[in-house]
Structure 1
Amino acid sequence: MGFQVLDPTHEKAPPLGQPAKRPGSLRGKTVGIISNGKEGTKGYFAHLDRMLRQEFGVADVAIRVKSNYSAPADAYIVGEIANWDAVVTGIGD
């Protein structure tokens, strides 16, 4: 008895996206941080906030926490992304 192997991949290649435009500097910019809300992110993102402001001259850091760690970012968070010059996302397990 043989067995059949099925290939779950789609037959078409996905469309290629374009990388986001990178700012030349973070000085005076706004950086958004999207956290999954797990315990491990709190200290890390607090430290990152201080580093961004002190070492890179970031004007504002907007930290947002998803309502469900395993789901995509909430609509209100996604709506804010256009107002940020850069975004950092992370998980903390």
Structure 2
Amino acid sequence: MAIEVFDPTNEDEPPTVALAPRLVTLAGTTVGLLSNGKAGTARLFDHMEDVLRQRYSVAEVVRRTKGNYSAPAEVELMNEAATWSAMFAATGD
């Protein structure tokens, strides 16, 4: 019986994506905090929100949680995130 070995590499070129322009300041912006849904994220985001508001004068902090920690964020959530000035994502392990 012959053994067939598969090559796991992909020869396709990845799509070229333009990076978002760097923000000059966070002052007055809306920043999203995206949680994977695990409990450990809450304490981190509490601290981050305080720092963002006090040190960087962020106008609004939006907190959202993905529906499934092991899957990509939902399309609706990513559409909302596109309206934010910046976003941080965290894994609460």
Unaligned runs of 5+ in 2: none
Letter in 2 for 1:15: P
Aligned to 2:32: 32
Letter in 2 for 1:57: S
- The Cα offsets for residues 37-61 of structure 1, whole Å up to 9 and x where unpaired, read as 1011010011101100000010000
Closer/same/farther in 2, CA of residues 7 and 26 from structure 1, 3 Å limit = same
Unaligned runs of 5+ in 1: none
Letter in 2 for 1:68: N
Q: How many residues align?
A: 92
Instruction: Give every structure 1 segment of 4 or more consecutive aligned residues whose post-TM-superposition deviation is greater than 4 Å.
Output: none
Letter in 2 for 1:64: R
Q: Tell me the TM-score normalized by structure 2.
A: 0.88
Q: Tell me the TM-score normalized by structure 1.
A: 0.88
Structure having the higher helix fraction is: 1
Aligned to 1:58: 58
Aligned to 1:81: 81
